[in-house]
Homo-oligomer: A and B are copies of this chain.
Amino acid sequence: MDLDFIKKLIKKNDTKIVMIVMDGIGGLPREEDGLTELETADTPNLDSLAAKGVCGLQQPVASGITPGSGPGHLALFGYDPVKYQVGRGVLSALGIGFDLKPEDVAARGNFCTIDENGVVVDRRAGRIPTEKNIELCNMLKGIELPGVDVFVETVKEHRFLLVLRGSGLSGDLIDTDPQRVGEKPLQPRGLSSEAGKTVELVRRFIDEARTLLRNQHPANMILFRGFSKKPCWPSMTEVFGLNCAAIAAYPMYRGLSRLLGMHVLETGQAIKEEFDTLEDNWDKFDFFFLHVKKTDSYGEDGDFVRKVKVIEEVDREIPRLLGLKPDVIIVTGDHSTPSALKFHSWHPVPVLLWSKYCRADNVKQFGERACISGGLGPRIPAVDIMPIVLANAKRLEKYGA
Which stretch (A57-65, A130-138, A229-237, A272-280) binds chain B? A57-65
- How many positions in chain A have a CB within 8 Å of any CB in the partner chain? 69
**A357 in complex: contacting residue of B61, B226, B340, CB < 8 Å:** B340
In the complex, what residues of B have CB within 8 A of residue A397's CB?
66
Cβ of A65 and Cβ of B9 under 8 Å apart? yes
In the complex, what residues of B have CB within 8 A of residue A357's CB?
28, 338, 340-341, 345
**A62 in complex: contacting residue of B67, B81, B346, B384, CB < 8 Å:** B384
In the complex, what residues of B have CB within 8 A of residue A362's CB?
369, 372
**A377 in complex: contacting residue of B344, B379, B401, CB < 8 Å:** B379
Is A380 among interface residues, defined by CB-CB distance under 8 A? yes
CA–CA, A361 and B371, complex, Å: 10
The 8 sampled A-B contact pairs (Cβ below 8 Å) are A9-B65, A61-B399, A63-B388, A66-B391, A68-B401, A226-B401, A347-B359, A359-B368
In the complex, what residues of B have CB within 8 A of residue A372's CB?
361-362, 373-375
CA–CA, A117 and B150, complex, Å: 64
CA–CA, A359 and B345, complex, Å: 11
CA–CA, A66 and B396, complex, Å: 8
- SS of A interface (majority): loop
Cβ of A69 and Cβ of B344 under 8 Å apart? no
- Residues 1-44 of chain A, each 1 if its beta carbon lies under 8 Å from chain B, else 0: 10001000100000000000000000011000010100000000
Cβ of A401 and Cβ of B69 under 8 Å apart? yes
In the complex, what residues of B have CB within 8 A of residue A69's CB?
401
Q: Could you tell me the distance in whole angstroms from the C-beta of A274 to the nearest C-beta in chain B?
A: 23
**A378 in complex: contacting residue of B9, B91, B345, B376, CB < 8 Å:** B376
Cβ of B373 and Cβ of A63 under 8 Å apart? no
CA–CA, A196 and B108, complex, Å: 54
In the complex, what residues of B have CB within 8 A of residue A226's CB?
401
Is A269 among interface residues, defined by CB-CB distance under 8 A? no
In the complex, what residues of B have CB within 8 A of residue A360's CB?
29, 34
Is A109 among interface residues, defined by CB-CB distance under 8 A? no
In the complex, what residues of B have CB within 8 A of residue A380's CB?
63, 379
Nearest B residue to A383 by beta-carbon distance? B63
Cβ of B81 and Cβ of A400 under 8 Å apart? yes
In the complex, what residues of B have CB within 8 A of residue A173's CB?
none
In the complex, what residues of B have CB within 8 A of residue A61's CB?
399-400
Cβ of B378 and Cβ of A65 under 8 Å apart? no
Is A123 among interface residues, defined by CB-CB distance under 8 A? no
In the complex, what residues of B have CB within 8 A of residue A158's CB?
none
CA–CA, A251 and B48, complex, Å: 46
Cβ of B361 and Cβ of A400 under 8 Å apart? no
Q: Could you tell me the distance in whole angstroms from the C-beta of A277 to the nearest C-beta in chain B?
A: 26
In the complex, what residues of B have CB within 8 A of residue A348's CB?
375
Is A85 among interface residues, defined by CB-CB distance under 8 A? yes
CA–CA, A108 and B85, complex, Å: 43
Is A290 among interface residues, defined by CB-CB distance under 8 A? no
